């Protein structure tokens, strides 16, 4: 269900309609024009459609990884070339590829990329695999670099193997039929892949260590002060109260009232 080149279906969507008719309604008017142009245009490669681009919609977490990237399928781009086989050309040097290179040869073999050749061709499909228009809700993507089983297998030069380095890479689609290349897109913008840092680059943050040192120091100092105060308290003010002049307990001072026999209060004895 999820082969490269097929459209992806999100569960819940209805079955998409496969456009199996080779001709599109719009090409009927174009057909005479094409027939006129064809003798004159034999050997000329027509530039069509938007250039390949990394998938923006839907947002994919892994639109680029360290060895793969994801492109939008070229839907509604090669409509006029129903007999052609559409190839993806991947290169790290735009100038090194010309359209006369044939796929499946050692000059365009994936296994020789990038040391011996500068470009390889892969992901060949015919037009019915890219039906137009794109059904809404389908995720139509091409994952470049997903075939790991044939990466070292020289008998599969058109392998869609994982890319060997971070890039930059340029891609384009090229339509080939029996007579040679007939249509192509422009080269894409340069595609850079991710590079992974070594795990030792992660800094574990010295903030925690500072906090621990602060807490330990301050608490030790406080505890030392308390012990010193306790010692001073016991030694100097051991059994006697040493602050009796500072304050005294009000309850302990009791004034004893003496009932004095006040002579003066008695009426004077009249002599």
Return the residue of 198, 257, 260, 270 that touches another protein, per CB under 8 A: 198
> How many residues bind to another protein according to rule CB under 8 A?
63
Rounded to whole angstroms, the Cα distance separating 79 from 117 reads 31
Q: Which residues on adjacent β-strands are paired with residue 170? A: 91
Q: Please list every residue from 225 through 264 that binds another protein, using CB under 8 A.
A: 225-227, 229-230, 233, 236-237, 241-244, 246-250, 252
Q: Output 227-230 pairs: Cβ under 8 A, ≥24 positions apart.
A: none
Q: Build a one-symbol-per-residue string for 32-71: x at contacts with another protein by CB under 8 A, - elsewhere.
A: --------------------------xxxxxx-xxxx-x-
Residues 203-232 that bind another protein (CB under 8 A): 203-205, 208-209, 211-212, 215-216, 218-220, 222-223, 225-227, 229-230
CA 90/CA 169 separation, integer angstroms:
7
Structure-token match 């392998």, residue found = 159
User: Comparing C-alpha atoms, which of 78, 100, 75 is closest to residue 89?
Assistant: 100
Are the CB atoms for 110 and 147 separated by under 8 Å? Answer: no
Q: Where does residue 124 rank: exposed (0-12), middle (13-18), buried (19+ CB within 10 A)? A: middle
Nearer Cβ to another protein (202/271): 202
* Options 34-42, 82-90, 184-192, 198-206: segment touching another protein (CB under 8 A): 198-206
SS3 84: coil
Residue list 112-171, contact with another protein (CB under 8 A): 139, 141, 143, 145-148, 161-162
Nearer to another protein, 106 or 216 (CB): 216
**CA quadruple 145, 160, 83, 6: dihedral positive or negative?**
negative
Q: How near is the Cβ of 238 to another protein at its closest, in Å?
A: 10
Q: Is there a contact between 142 and 3 (Cβ–Cβ < 8 Å)?
A: no
Cβ at position 41, least distance to another protein in Å: 38
Interaction site with another protein (CB under 8 A): 2, 8, 10, 58-63, 65-68, 70, 139, 141, 143, 145-148, 161-162, 194, 196-205, 208-209, 211-212, 215-216, 218-220, 222-223, 225-227, 229-230, 233, 236-237, 241-244, 246-250, 252
């Amino acid at each position: 269900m999820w082969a490269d080149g097929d459209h992806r279906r999100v569960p819940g969507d209805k079955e998409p309609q496969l456009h199996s008719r080779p001709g599109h309604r719009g090409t009927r008017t174009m057909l005479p024009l094409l027939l006129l142009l064809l003798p004159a245009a034999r050997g000329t490669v027509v530039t069509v459609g938007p250039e390949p681009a990394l998938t923006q919609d839907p947002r994919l977490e892994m639109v680029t990884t360290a060895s793969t990237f994801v492109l939008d399928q070229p839907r509604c781009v090669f409509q006029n070339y129903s007999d052609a086989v559409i190839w993806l050309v991947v290169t790290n040097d735009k100038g090194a590829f010309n359209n006369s290179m044939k796929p499946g040869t050692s000059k365009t073999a994936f296994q020789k990329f990038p040391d011996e050749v500068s470009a390889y061709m892969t992901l060949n499909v015919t037009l019915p695999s890219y039906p137009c228009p794109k059904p809404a809700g389908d995720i139509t993507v091409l994952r470049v670099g997903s075939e790991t089983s044939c990466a070292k297998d020289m008998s599969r030069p058109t392998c869609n193997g994982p890319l060997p380095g971070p890039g930059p890479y340029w891609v384009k689609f090229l339509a080939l039929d029996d007579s040679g290349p007939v249509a192509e897109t422009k080269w894409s913008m340069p595609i850079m892949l991710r590079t992974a840092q070594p795990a030792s680059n992660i800094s574990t943050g010295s903030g925690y260590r500072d906090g621990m040192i602060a807490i330990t120091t301050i608490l030790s100092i406080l505890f030392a002060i308390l012990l010193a105060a306790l010692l001073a308290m016991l030694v100097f003010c051991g059994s006697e109260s040493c602050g009796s002049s500072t304050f005294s307990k009000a309850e302990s001072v009791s004034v004893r009232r003496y009932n004095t026999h006040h002579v003066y209060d008695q009426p004077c004895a009249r002599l």
